[in-house]
């Protein structure tokens, strides 16, 4: 039996893709191991959003090549976004690499591995290195298998690709045009997850709020995405629904109105800002301004005053002046996020921003990055401390890695640790909070 080890870098979509590949391989009789040294097949699922992510993956695979001296039959593969963007060029950099599979061909991994292993066992022709990064119609419908049942929380891919063409982003190149799955197929998948024990569903897409464009119609002035959220209310067993990653343009009245109205939709929104400067937003090709962005925040808080908000921010975009950054800092502070992913701009080959003048120095990027992290620390701690002595509804996900406690999340997505019996896993429990830090809460079941 061939043993597989998968390492994943990047976003929740990559995690979901790896999960689907693992499910397909398990169905073919592959087993999975926790150590690279024990594997016959090592696959790295990669991210290209930032240069650091690519360098980590390249460094990892570079070190893994040495394992072939111990196991000549070992298969090394790179899949996902970096595979899509670099293609056969990876074979020049990594001579021991056997397989390169792009974002629209992940469901082909089992058949490609079968061909490679047949050759290594002397049953097939001598291999050319196998590279498959071509587009494939309806590939978005292939990501529907799950590695194992019984998980309390599950990711469900509903939409792939992006048509936005932000100046800094390589996603449209590596993920392709927007493509959505039929709604009934999504609902069928989620019903199956509910039967197998899932209680929380996170809907995934590159622009998840664009779901259904060109596939489903508006009904009663509601977008296909809002219609899907409403349909999830009907599925027995599913207690909570989340989604990521949206775009501010998706927060029209129909979506904003879902919060506080749909019982299962958690009071938590990831709302990427990227910059608080109108000038930089125009350079980024982001179709909104700071005032429109803050209007969305206010409309969400009008529906749910204590809604949890997170965001994405890029500091050091080409041409960003001190005045531009101050506009970002001011809006970032005014919103008061619970969580934020703050990135120092890095060039992505093939994007318009990579060719822009006035690139910002690394030193300035670091200073601006730290300034926002300081604000985030204060606002996140303030939220945590506001929950002291409150009772939070927690979905119990499993055992914490250390300390012998159970771990779950409240409806805002904040981790909660508490003592309890394993029979609580998968249940909704009330926990009174008696300790809070920047990132986590602790308490006791009531």
Query: Taken in order 219, 224, 230, 234, is the CA torsion positive or negative?
Result: positive
CA distance 245 to 61: 28
- The per-residue pLDDT for 436 is 97
Query: Taken in order 49, 50, 51, 52, is the CA torsion positive or negative?
Result: negative
Query: Which CATH architecture best describes the domain 391-445?
Result: Beta Barrel (2.40)
Within the chain, all domains assigned CATH 2.40.50 are found at: 391-445
CA distance 405 to 371: 34
93, two tokens: 């950099």
Q: Give yes or no for a cis peptide into 260 (omega within 30° of 0).
A: no
The values of phi and psi at residue 437, to 5°, are -120, -170
Taking a C-beta distance cutoff of 8 angstroms, is the pair 120, 139 a contact? no
Within the chain, all domains assigned CATH 3.40.50.12160 are found at: 3-132
CA distance 435 to 270: 25
| Tens digits of pLDDT across the chain (446 residues) | 689 999 999 888 889 889 989 989 998 999 999 999 999 999 999 998 888 888 999 999 999 999 988 888 899 999 999 999 899 999 999 999 999 999 999 999 999 998 888 887 766 665 668 899 888 777 776 676 666 656 899 999 999 999 988 999 988 888 888 999 999 999 999 999 999 999 999 999 999 999 999 888 899 999 999 999 999 999 999 999 999 999 999 999 999 999 999 999 999 999 999 999 999 999 999 999 999 999 999 999 999 999 999 999 999 999 999 999 999 999 999 999 999 999 999 998 889 999 999 999 999 999 999 999 999 999 999 999 999 999 999 999 999 988 889 999 999 999 999 999 999 999 999 999 999 999 999 999 99
Taking a C-beta distance cutoff of 8 angstroms, is the pair 91, 132 a contact? no
- The per-residue pLDDT for 125 is 65
CA distance 340 to 376: 7
Q: Where are the alpha helices (DSSP H) in 79-170?
A: 81-86, 89-93, 109-120
Within the chain, all domains assigned CATH 3.80.30.20 are found at: 139-386
- The per-residue pLDDT for 349 is 85
Superfamily of domain 139-386: tm_1862 like domain (3.80.30.20)
Residue 142 DSSP SS3: helix
The values of phi and psi at residue 406, to 5°, are -85, 155
Query: Which CATH architecture best describes the domain 3-132?
Result: 3-Layer(aba) Sandwich (3.40)
Task: Residue 64: count other Cβ atoms within 10 Å of its Cβ.
Answer: 21
Residue 254 DSSP SS3: helix
217-224: which pairs have CB atoms within 8 A and are 24 or more residues apart? 221/254, 222/254, 223/250, 223/252, 223/254, 223/255, 224/180, 224/183
276, two tokens: 């608080």
CA distance 303 to 32: 45
Q: Which helix (H) or strand (E) holds 225?
A: helix 224-232
CA distance 360 to 346: 10
Tell me the three-class secondary structure of 355-385, residue by residue: HCCCCCCHHHHHHHHHHHHHHHHHHHHHHHH
Residues 6+ apart with CB under 8 A from 323: 277
């Amino acid at each position: 039996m061939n043993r597989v080890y998968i390492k994943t870098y990047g976003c929740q979509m990559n995690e979901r893709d790896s999960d689907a590949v693992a499910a397909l391989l398990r169905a073919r009789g592959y087993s999975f191991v926790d150590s690279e040294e024990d594997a016959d097949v090592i696959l790295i699922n990669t991210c290209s959003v930032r240069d650091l992510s690519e360098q980590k993956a390249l460094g990892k695979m570079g070190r893994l090549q040495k394992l072939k001296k111990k196991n000549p039959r070992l298969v090394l593969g790179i899949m996902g976004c970096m595979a899509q963007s670099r293609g056969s060029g990876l074979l020049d950099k990594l001579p021991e690499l056997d397989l390169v599979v792009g974002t629209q061909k992940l469901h082909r991994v089992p058949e490609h591995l079968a061909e490679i292993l047949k050759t290594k066992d002397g049953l097939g022709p001598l291999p050319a290195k196998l590279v498959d990064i071509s587009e494939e119609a309806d590939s978005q419908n292939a990501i529907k298998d799950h590695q194992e049942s019984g998980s309390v929380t599950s990711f469900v891919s509903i939409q792939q690709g992006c048509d936005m063409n932000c100046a800094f982003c390589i996603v449209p190149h590596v993920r392709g045009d927007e493509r959505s799955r039929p709604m009934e197929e999504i609902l069928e998948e989620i019903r199956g997850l509910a039967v197998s024990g899932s209680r929380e569903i996170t809907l995934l897409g590159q622009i998840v709020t664009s779901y259904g464009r060109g596939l489903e119609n508006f009904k009663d002035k509601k977008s296909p995405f809002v219609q899907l959220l409403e349909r999830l209310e009907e599925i027995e067993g599913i207690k909570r629904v989340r989604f990521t990653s949206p775009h501010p343009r998706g927060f029209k009245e129909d979506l904003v109105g879902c919060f506080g109205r749909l019982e299962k939709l958690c009071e938590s929104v990831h709302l990427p800002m990227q910059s608080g400067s109108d000038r930089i937003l125009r350079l980024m090709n982001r179709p909104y301004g700071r005032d429109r962005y803050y209007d969305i925040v206010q409309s969400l808080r009008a529906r749910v005053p204590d809604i949890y908000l997170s965001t994405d921010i890029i500091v050091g975009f080409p041409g960003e002046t001190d005045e531009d950054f101050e506009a970002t800092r001011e809006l970032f502070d005014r919103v008061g996020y619970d969580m934020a992913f703050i990135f120092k701009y890095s060039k992505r080959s093939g994007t318009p921003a990579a060719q822009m003048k006035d690139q910002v120095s690394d030193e300035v990027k670091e200073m601006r990055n730290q300034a926002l992290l300081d604000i985030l620390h204060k606002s996140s701690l303030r939220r945590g401390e506001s929950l002291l002595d409150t009772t939070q509804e927690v979905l119990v996900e499993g055992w914490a890695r250390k300390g012998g406690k159970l771990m779950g999340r409240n409806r805002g997505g904040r981790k909660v640790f508490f003592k309890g019996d394993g029979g609580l896993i998968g249940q909704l429990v009330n926990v009174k909070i008696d300790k809070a830090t920047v990132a986590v809460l602790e308490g006791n079941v009531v």
